[in-house]
Amino acid sequence: MKVGYISDDIYLKHDTGAGHPESKERLIAINKEIKTLEDSLVLLEPIKASPKIVSLVHPHQYVSHIQECCEDGLEIDNDTITSIESYEVALKAVGAGIVAVDAIVDKKIDRAFAAVRPPGHHASKQKAMGFCLFNNIAITARYAQEKGFEKVFIIDFDVHHGNGTQDIFYDDDSVFYFSTHEEMSFPGTGSMKDIGVEDGLGFNYNHRLASGSEDEDILKVYKEKLPPLVEEFNPDIILVSAGYDIHERDPLAGLNITTEGIRRLVSEILTLKDTPYIFMLEGGYKTRALAQSVRVTVEEMMK
Ligand SMILES: [Zn+2]
């Protein structure tokens, strides 16, 4: 498989301050690890997403608000910090998904991994939170729809529930949102009873994993619950919110998933359907474990 890898040094310029877990060191570690695979990858540069593209999900007013917060380097909340460069960086994080879709449409690649920051899955239409400013994967989903991939299936394996992504597509039957996450973890959403509303009823699926869950526990969900949902929905493209804070060594959460478990999880995802796949980085805060996890992901994607 031809795999596009999208990252950029501009992502290092989003400065969250000393001691913040969502740091540039995450991407430095990932890109160092991926360097040894580069000859087998199609390296792509992200574009800066236009306000029009961002507005596929976020109202203009919200986009201007984020721009202003970044210009002033404001803390949006205790977790969600901006710096003067963050607006530009966030637009380029969105742009990675756009470049991935375009490269797939142009048949330059079959699959893409976007190593970006800030992450996106906690951002809803009008609210930044949980380290996230713009919802990268949601905008990518809408852009993919504009390019002819009518039905989009989003899989979110980050240890935290992607409340923003769920909210954005909650009443929508053209985008299926599937999430596994640790019970009782931030932001507290992601009840298994939340299955969508109106047209979106039945197109949202949450699975809470008990703290301490191991490889076999999470794999069971991906082997038994996920395949029939994908088969029934029959997506044209599959997008993955890849959060590696499920790793056993992650300091922000309490699942016990090994690097090899992540490899098997990714393998299960990639065998779901013969469609394009775009993975976008969300969480993962133990830099060494994160880098190794991204490596095994990309290795599986190349098979
Ligand atoms: Zn997370």
Q: What is the pLDDT of residues 105-134, one digit of tens each?
A: 999 999 999 999 999 999 999 999 999 999
Question: Of the CATH numbers 1.20.120.430, 3.40.800.20, 3.40.50.2300, 3.10.580.10, which one belongs to the domain with range 3-302?
Answer: 3.40.800.20
**Residues lying with their CB under 5 A of ligand 1, a single-atom ion:** 158, 160, 243, 245, 283
Given this model, what pLDDT does residue 156 score?
99
Q: Residue 169 carries which side chain, given as an amino acid letter?
A: F
Backbone angles phi, psi at 273, to 5 degrees: -160, 150
Give the pLDDT band of residue 3 (cuts 50, 70, 90).
very high
Residues identified as active-site: 122
158: its two tokens: 């980050």
Given this model, what pLDDT does residue 139 score?
98
Per-residue pLDDT, averaged over 17-21, amounts to: 95
pLDDT digits (tens, 9 = 90+) for 245-303: 999 999 999 999 999 999 999 999 999 999 999 999 999 999 999 999 999 999 999 99
Given this model, what pLDDT does residue 239 score?
98
Instruction: Give the whole-angstrom CA distance, residue 68 versus residue 63.
Output: 9
3-state secondary structure the chain: CCEEEECCHHHHHCCCCCCCCCCHHHHHHHHHHHHHHHHHCEEECCCCCCHHHHCCCCCHHHHHHHHHHHHCCCECCCCCECCCCHHHHHHHHHHHHHHHHHHHHCCCCCEEEECCCCCCCCCECCECECCECCCHHHHHHHHHHHCCCCCEEEEECCCCCCHHHHHHHCCCCCEEEEEEEECCCCCCCCCCCCCCCHHHCCCEEEEEECCCCEHHHHHHHHHHHHHHHHHHHCCCEEEEEECHHHECCCCCCCCEECHHHHHHHHHHHHCCCCCCEEEEECCCCCHHHHHHHHHHHHHHHHC
Give the pLDDT band of residue 18 (cuts 50, 70, 90).
very high
User: Hey, where are the domains in the chain?
Assistant: 3-302
Give the pLDDT band of residue 11 (cuts 50, 70, 90).
very high
Per-residue pLDDT, averaged over 59-83, amounts to: 95
Give the pLDDT band of residue 136 (cuts 50, 70, 90).
very high
| Residue 192: Cβ within 10 Å count | 10
Distance of CA 179 to the CA centre of its chain: 11
How close is the Cα of 205 to the center of ligand 1, in Å? 17
Given this model, what pLDDT does residue 90 score?
98
How close is the Cα of 279 to the center of ligand 1, in Å? 15
Given this model, what pLDDT does residue 108 score?
98
pLDDT digits (tens, 9 = 90+) for 145-202: 999 999 999 999 999 999 999 999 999 999 999 999 999 999 999 999 999 999 999 9
Cβ 264 vs Cβ 297: under 8 Å: no
Percent of the chain with pLDDT over 70: 100
Percent of the chain with pLDDT over 90: 100
Given this model, what pLDDT does residue 214 score?
98
How close is the Cα of 187 to the center of ligand 1, in Å? 10
How close is the Cα of 108 to the center of ligand 1, in Å? 31
How close is the Cα of 93 to the center of ligand 1, in Å? 17
